């Protein structure tokens, strides 16, 4: 076998090996890549302190917007007051993993976190989740 045919033989071997390695890598990783692209949204249980009425409806509507706002990565499953834990147990429910999030009047938390009284006791304070959305996304709150 002369030098030129040996060189061509090596090139052919390397091309074939590279092709086989690439196809093998694609075949092995394809199921994970497909699953990653089609992953379901993570669902968080979130409870409010609203029992019924306009406050609860506003909260439920706001929860319905989360999936779109997160590009389908996260969605909220809303629960009304006392569905999972009591109004004054919301912080403990999140802390203990019973809930992933909560929506409550922050003055309710003052017994556990005294500084939270300042979040609700100022004039014209933001009370509802959609008011915070307006502040952050429509009124420049993210740029502050």
Question: 51-109 pLDDT, tens per residue?
Answer: 999 889 989 999 999 999 899 999 999 999 999 999 889 989 999 999 999 988 777 77
DSSP assigned state of 93: H
Model confidence at 29: pLDDT above 70: no
Least confidently predicted of 12-16, 27-31, 36-40, 47-51: 27-31
Least confidently predicted of 42-56, 94-108, 122-136: 122-136
Average pLDDT over residues 22-42: 58
Radius of gyration from C-alpha coordinates of the chain: 27
What was the pLDDT predicted at 61?
92
Burial class (CB in 10 A: 0-12, 13-18, 19+), 16: exposed
Average pLDDT over residues 29-45: 67
Looking at per-residue pLDDT, the higher value among 112 and 97 belongs to: 97
Model confidence at 46: pLDDT above 70: yes
């Amino acid at each position: 076998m002369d030098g030129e045919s040996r060189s061509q033989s090596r090139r052919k071997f390397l091309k074939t090996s590279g092709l086989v390695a690439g196809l093998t890598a694609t075949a092995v990783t394809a199921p994970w890549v497909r699953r990653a692209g089609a992953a379901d949204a993570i669902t968080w249980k979130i409870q409010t302190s609203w029992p019924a009425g306009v406050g609860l409806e506003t909260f439920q509507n706001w929860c319905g917007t989360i999936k779109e706002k997160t590009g389908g990565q996260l969605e909220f499953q809303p629960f009304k007051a006392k569905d999972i834990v009591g109004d004054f147990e919301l912080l403990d429910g999140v802390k203990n993993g019973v809930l992933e999030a909560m929506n409550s009047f922050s003055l309710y938390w003052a017994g556990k976190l005294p500084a939270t009284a300042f979040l609700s006791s100022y004039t014209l304070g933001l009370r509802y989740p959609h008011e915070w959305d307006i502040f952050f996304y429509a009124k420049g709150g993210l740029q502050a």
